[in-house]
Chains A and B, each alone.
Chain A
């Protein structure tokens, strides 16, 4: 609790005035010499307890009324949740801001998004009341602590602006803890503003375990969660999953084939108008959507024969979240989709080569090279779009390790399979456990992530037959990455380690037929490889469909296509848009996971934050109330109530029938 007129609290002793007056009054009673004392003593004796209680209550009411008056005049500020104030003013206030695209859901009345509302409320709270010596902002897009001089600056900082990114909340929490440890914060309050999207919070992320452990070791951090769990029932979202350019037979020109995904809240068929812009030319059409998620494959958009490259975007009617109403795409002549398989022997590499050379998309060229693990130096890292590594992990300081890390940092992927021999090295913080023979049951894959990532369900919602795999032996995956699949006894089978834009995937199931049926039951295997290859294509092709992110435009001089620049510096890569740098085209969009409307409920949140000293304040987009509200009106009302109670207590009793006129019986 804080006070705008702190000096008025000096008047607090005035609350004792009623007691003092009462005591003085007791000494200044009119004195009457009285004969009928026996009746007075009787009355006093009978009334003693009630009389005293009533007097005490009356005095208490008067004291309370004065207290409320003084407090009201001193204009106290309390947070939306009164208990927040009990911890006193912190030395440092950290603001962790979820800048994911979903935070752009906007209140129609006020025009404020959840992100803007969060920033305003926190800024107002800090400005009006709970001011600490140091205010630090860490946003989910940059993950860099920024010290704020004045809370009001929060509203205008680029670090609090909108982005088309996905938030990494575990990373954000880790950044706050790292800062707290590095700065040796004694008494800190951390405001985490988020809409609780599961995609952002990543409840399956293995980092939460260590975060919970860290939270127990940092009991001086008080976490305040300003959440915006409210969904938007009529929201529509669109994403471009893939773009292909196809020459039409004869002189018919060329066309673009778009793979789109439209998400909406609600069921039943509905026609949704959408706009399509290709190289600045806009057309309007309508798509039929059934259910809450509609995949549109191969939406043909005619382009001129001479239009071999360019950009475009798909637009849906405006709704509460403008960020997901628009998706950009770029197109350019395709280069070969080259994969490199580094394996211990050719037998293991054979099914991999077969799968990666298979032509999936018409017109695309698929190439795959096999390199023995002993000849890694032959790998052409620049042209490869996917590296499959079935060999012992290189030492962290080796040249191979550096090549692999740079490869992943460029946005492409590496898929690691377990080596046949012992391997104690770790890369990307992940390593292999020992080989483990499967028990009697051959089906060892107990769980895998079906909503997103490389093991996600197919476009028609069917799960990959990953659980059908027959497993004779496998190697568990150990590390801090995101677990994508587990064995039936709980061991991590597939794990993802994120590095910059790319990712390293570790799969504990070997394609060796002696270990698993991964190669022979090839559906899951095939899908897995081509999804990863597609990631590499996105990162390495001339036309790239990228997720917006900090380093999305860091690898060249990129020029915005079709619009003026909205941001400068590192913020550029955080916005959706189409860009060009020389021969390369790049479309930046929000991540696919941002389309997932699932949110954490309070139980899931409590499980995730077990060990954190946290409080939740639920907010709504556009909500005007500051986190710290002036409560003098409430105090005045309370004062009125107390005075009313005092008046009731002071009221003379009902007319006394015994007070009748005296009459002599004589």
Chain B
């Protein structure tokens, strides 16, 4: 696998971070159904070296997989099955609604999302997985179906670099559509601020899970959005529209924080119920640390399950 282009359009990728993170395998938590052989488990039994189970012989089975030793011991025919290794279909769903233009300290949320998505895409492609991209804002703004190969990765990265945040959020619709469009099992990574009604989000997650997708969410927030520590009346302009609201934090701050924490609690409950790999990310945190935690968490979790 060739190194990705380091042109200015892919400035969200840091080779040093890529190099460091490459040492950590990018695993799926659930069996994937890929088109080629890979390093991920598949629900279909295959011919890898890792023993899976014994199964009774039925006519038509490949005699090469017959376990003769078991026949010798029990006088019965058993087929010895091994785990199938397949490749991963990584579908990156990036929220490109106007709210992702939020300037969180020195970085815009969308830029942060680019770094996360680009790095994950590169890591997946590097280990031979297919990478696709879905940009969600009032429906799919961009859609690149998952494919393998360096050239395709470049297409994904180019699209990622070119995407702009605008309009109202279409994340929920995008997730429902993605659940329908992505035919086989895939790892769906959602990178968004999730500023939608939790109830609608719950349905979207359940839809994805119903389609057997492994769902991971990077919930991008800024510390200030949670703490709301403004010290004087401020005019807030909606990033997803032009509505403006003058708010005195001393009067409305407490209720804002109450609403925010109620929302976060709801999100926590939803992702727990839906079995979503949820990562609440404060964008002041370095994205490589977030990704390292994410990759290690998946890898160690997978090893534990094995």
Contacts and interface: CB of A to CB of B under 8 A. Distances in A.
A665 B280 contact: yes
Contact of B237 (A31, A44, A658, A662): A31
A354 interface: no
Interface stretch (B50-58, B111-119, B248-256): B248-256
Contacts of B246: 26, 29
A664 B193 CA distance: 14
Given A31-B237, A35-B109, A37-B240, A42 B232 contact: no
A662 B238 contact: no
A665 B109 CA distance: 20
Contact of B257 (A26, A652, A658): A658
B233 A662 contact: no
Q: Which of B103, B109, B235 has the most CB of A within 10 A?
A: B235
Contacts, number: 125
Interface string A649-666: 010110010110010111
Nearest to A48: B252
B34 to A, nearest CB: 27
A32 interface: yes
A10 interface: no
B227 A31 contact: no
B250 A664 contact: no
A55 B248 CA distance: 10
A203 B184 CA distance: 113
B268 interface: yes
A54 B235 contact: no
Interface string A363-406: 00000000000000000000000000000000000000000000
A40 B240 CA distance: 14
B243 A37 contact: yes
A595 B223 CA distance: 90
B109 A653 contact: no
B236 A37 contact: yes
Interface string A624-666: 0000000000000000000000000010110010110010111
Contacts of B247: 40, 43-44
Contact of A666 (B109, B258, B278): B278
B282 interface: yes
A42 B255 contact: yes
A34 B109 CA distance: 12
B102 interface: yes
Contact of A31 (B234, B248, B257, B260): B234
B278 A43 contact: no
A86 interface: no
Given A29-B246, A39-B256, A662 B227 contact: yes
Interface string A34-60: 111111111110110011001100000
Nearest to B248: A51
A36 B103 contact: no
Most buried by B among A34, A35, A38, A51: A35
B11 to A, nearest CB: 23
A34 B259 contact: no
A26 B297 CA distance: 49
Contact of A36 (B195, B271, B297): B195
Contacts of B252: 40, 43-44, 47, 51
A462 interface: no
A651 to B, nearest CB: 9
A30 interface: yes
A25 interface: yes
Contacts of A43: 247, 252-256, 258-259
A652 B243 CA distance: 27
Interface residues of B, number: 52
Interface in B199-240: 221, 223, 225-227, 229-230, 232-240
Given A33-B103, A34-B236, A666-B279, A658 B258 contact: yes
A43 to B, nearest CB: 4
B253 A33 contact: no
Contact of B251 (A32, A35, A38, A54): A54
Contacts of B239: 33-35, 37
A202 B249 CA distance: 72
B237 A39 contact: no
A40 B261 contact: no
Contact of B223 (A46, A650, A662): A662
B245 interface: yes
B238 A34 contact: yes
B52 to A, nearest CB: 31
B173 interface: no
Contacts of B261: 658
Contacts of B229: 659
A61 to B, nearest CB: 16
A47 B252 CA distance: 6
B232 A30 contact: yes
Interface string B95-133: 000011111000001000000000000000000000000
B280 A666 contact: yes
B241 to A, nearest CB: 8
B100 to A, nearest CB: 8
Nearest to B253: A656
A34 B195 contact: no
A346 to B, nearest CB: 106
Nearest to B222: A35
A612 B252 CA distance: 58
B245 A40 contact: yes
Given A36-B225, A666-B280, A46 B255 contact: yes
A75 to B, nearest CB: 37
Interface in B273-296: 278-282
Contacts of A34: 102, 236-239
Contacts of B259: 38-39, 42-43
Given A37-B243, A43-B247, A665 B278 contact: yes
B263 interface: yes
Contacts of B271: 665
A662 B228 CA distance: 12
Given A55-B248, A658-B254, A664-B281, 17 more contacts: A29-B246, A31-B236, A32-B234, A32-B236, A34-B102, A34-B239, A35-B109, A36-B193, A37-B240, A42-B259, A43-B254, A43-B255, A43-B259, A50-B251, A652-B250, A662-B226, A662-B227
What 6 A-B pairs come out closest when comparing CB atoms? A664-B280, A35-B99, A43-B255, A29-B235, A43-B256, A34-B236
23 contacts: A26-B233, A26-B246, A32-B230, A32-B237, A33-B102, A35-B100, A35-B240, A36-B195, A37-B238, A39-B259, A39-B260, A40-B245, A40-B256, A43-B247, A44-B245, A47-B255, A51-B248, A51-B252, A652-B250, A653-B253, A662-B282, A665-B280, A666-B297
Interface of B: 99-103, 109, 193, 195, 221, 223, 225-227, 229-230, 232-240, 243-248, 250-261, 263, 268, 271-272, 278-282, 297
Interface of A: 25-26, 29-44, 46-47, 50-51, 54-55, 650, 652-653, 656, 658-659, 662, 664-666
